[in-house]
Structure 1
Amino acid sequence: MISDKIQQELENLTRAERQLAHSILDNYPASGLGPLSALAKSAKVSVPTVARMVQKLGFKGYPEFQAELREELKAKVKNPIAKHDTWAEGAPSEHMLNQFTDAVIDNIRLTLGQIEPRLFDEACALVAASNTHLYVVGGRITHTLAEYLFLHLQTIRPKITHIQSTSNAWPHYLLDVQKGDVFVIFDMRRYENNTLKLAEIAHAKGAKIVLFTDQWRSPIDALADITFSNRIEVPSAWDSAATTLLLIETMISAIQNLSWNETKDRMEELEELFDRTKLFRKFN
C-alpha cells in the first residue's frame, strides 16, 4: 500500500517532502486522486517536490502513483459479494485450509512488520491506566472483538465500559466522558458513520483514542492517538479478524503483566464469586 510506503520512507524525505507526505496521509487516499498541481497546492509545496517524492516511493510518475491509489480505493469500498467474486476468479487449486492459512500468515507478518514496539507499549499503558475510565467500542461485526477485549480487561482493571456503537443509546455513555479517558475503537472497512460520530464526540471531549482498523484506515485514524492497521484480506467473502485478534490477545497479556498484583487480586475475587454462584462445574 502507498500509505505504508510513505510511512516507511518518512525519515528519508526532505522537509518539504515530509510536509507533502503528511498532507497525503491526512486525507488518504482521496488526497492523491486529483491533478498533480492541486496536490502540490493543498500541501503548500512545489510541483517538482510532488514528482520527486512519487519517484522516491518507487513510481515512474504521477499517473502510475494515481493508478495504484485508485485500485486501493476500489478495494476499500468492496462489499462481501464483490470481494468473493474477485477472489474466486483467481483461486488456486490448493486446499482451502492451506490457502486460507497462508493468507492469514502473510497478514500477520505484514502487520507486525509495521508496528513500532514503542507505540504498542504506549497503547498498552493507556489501556491499563486504571485512574482513567476505559471505553471499548466495536461495530456491526467488530463488536465481537470489542466484547472479547472487554471481558478480559474487566477482570484486569476497574472503570471499564463496553459501548454498543450500533445502539441508539450510545450517546448516553458519552455524558460522563472526561478529558484523558481512553477509547479503544474497532472500525474496519465499510466504516460505520455511527462509530465515526462517536469518536468525534469523544475526541472533542478530550478523550484519547486507540484505533484498530484495516490497511486502508478508518476515517477515525485522523482522530486517533495510536492506530493499528491490520491486514485483513483472505480468500473469503468476509475479512479476517485473525491478525486483529492476535494483537488483542497480545495487548491483554501485556496489560495483565503491567499490573499483575492488582490483576491477581481481582482474579482471585472473581473466582470466589464464580464458586459462590456455581457457574462452573467442579471436579474434586
Structure 2
Amino acid sequence: MPSLSPRLREAAVYIIQNMQKCAFMGIEKVARAANVSPSTVMRLLLKLGYKNYVEFRDELRQMVMTQLAPIDRLKAVASADTTLSETIGISFNRDISNIETTAGRNRETAWIEACSLCINASQIWVFGGRSSFAVASFLALILEQLTGKASLIAPFDESLPEIVNRIAPDHLGIVVGLPRYLRVTVDVANLVKARGAKLLAITDGPFSPLAKIADASLYAAYEGTGHHNSLVGAMALVNCLAAVLRLQQPEMVNSRLKDLEDIYAKLNLFKTYISHPCP
C-alpha cells in the first residue's frame, strides 16, 4: 500500500485484518477500533472507488458471509447491534436489494438465451439440493406447466444414476446452486455435459463453479440476514423466466395453460371460496 498515507494505511490494515468484524460494524466503530477518524476511513473508501460506507460494508459483508459456515454467519449477524424494528427493516430491505441486484445482473440477451434453451430442448431436467431444492421444485413446476416437458430430479432420489442415464444430447439440464455450492450439484452438472446435453445454471455469478461449465447462466443475489441464503432473488428470477417464456411463445403457453385449466376443473382440484360480508 505504498500510495496510501500513514493514516489511510492504518485504516486499511485494520480492515484487512478484521474483515469479518468490519462487515457488521458502523463507520464510527471501525474508525475507533483502527484508531483513526471516521473521515479517514471515508477517504480510504473513496480512494478505493466506493460511493459511501454502506456500499463498501454491503460488499464486504457479502464476501464474508459467502465464506462462513451457517453457525458462524448466524453469530456474525447476531453480533450486530440492532433493535427488533431495525432487524425487521434490514431483512425486508435486504430482499428488496436482492431482487434489484438480480434484475441488474442479467442482460436481455441472457434471458433470451435461457428461453431458447428451454424451447429447443425435447426434455428439461431440473436439479437443486438442500435450500436450492425449493427453487428447483418451483422452477420444474412452472416449466412443466408452460412447456409440458420438464421434470424435477430430487437429490435424495435413489434412482438418480438411472435418471441421469436417460439424459440425451437434445435435452436441457438446469442446475440451481448458490454458495456454499453442493458437490452433488456440480457433479450432476458435469454429468449433464458429459451426456452431450445443454446446461443452464441458476447461480450467483460468473465465478460460480456451475457458471464455468454451463452453456448459459442466470444470476441471482442471495444475501440473507441469518444463517441461510435468501431465495427471494432466485424465486424472482424464476418468475421472470416464466414471463419471458410466455412472451417468446404465447401460443404454446396459452394452449398449455388452457388445457391444464380444463383438467383442473374436471378434477375439481381447487376449492372455490366466496367471501360473504359480515351480517
Normalising to structure 1: TM-score of the pair?
0.69
Q: Deviations over 1:178-237 (max 9, x none)?
A: 214211111111221111111111111221111111358542222111223322112212
The answer for the alignment partner of 2:96 in structure 1 is 105
For 1:272, the aligned partner's letter is D
Contact 1:171 1:198 in 2 (8 A): no
Shifted more, 217-226 versus 118-127: the winner is 217-226
Q: Is 1:192 paired with 2:182?
A: yes
Cα displacement (A) at 1:73: 7.0
Q: Residues 82 and 202 of structure 1: is their aligned pair in 2 closer, same or farther, counting only changes over 3 Å? A: same
Q: Deviations over 1:247-268 (max 9, x none)?
A: 1101011112222212222222
How large is the RMSD of aligned CA atoms in angstroms? 2.7
For 1:87, the aligned partner's letter is V
Contact 2:70 2:228 in 1 (8 A): yes
Distance 1:250 1:73 in 2: 26
The answer for the alignment partner of 1:143 in structure 2 is 133
The answer for the alignment partner of 1:178 in structure 2 is 168
Distance 1:208 1:280 in 2: 36
Unmatched 5+ stretches in structure 1: 1-57, 60-69
Contact 2:177 2:203 in 1 (8 A): yes
After TM superposition, the structure 1 = structure 2 runs for residues 243-262 of structure 1, keeping only pairs within 5 Å, are 243-262=233-252
Contact 1:76 1:216 in 2 (8 A): no
Q: Is 1:117 paired with 2:129?
A: no
Contact 1:137 1:186 in 2 (8 A): yes
For 2:95, the aligned partner's letter is V
2:74 to 80, 84, 92: 84
Contact 2:143 2:149 in 1 (8 A): no
**3-state secondary structure, aligned to 2:210:** helix
Cα displacement (A) at 1:72: 7.5
Question: In terms of Rg, which structure is larger?
Answer: 2
Alignment coverage as a number of residue pairs: 218
Q: Residues 217 and 93 of structure 1: is their aligned pair in 2 closer, same or farther, counting only changes over 3 Å? A: farther
Percent identity at matched positions?
21
Distance 2:259 2:223 in 1: 41
Q: Deviations over 1:70-129 (max 9, x none)?
A: 998754332221111111222433613311111122222333222221112211221233
Distance 2:256 2:67 in 1: 43
Shifted more, 147-156 versus 73-82: the winner is 73-82
Unmatched 5+ stretches in structure 2: 1-47, 50-59, 275-279
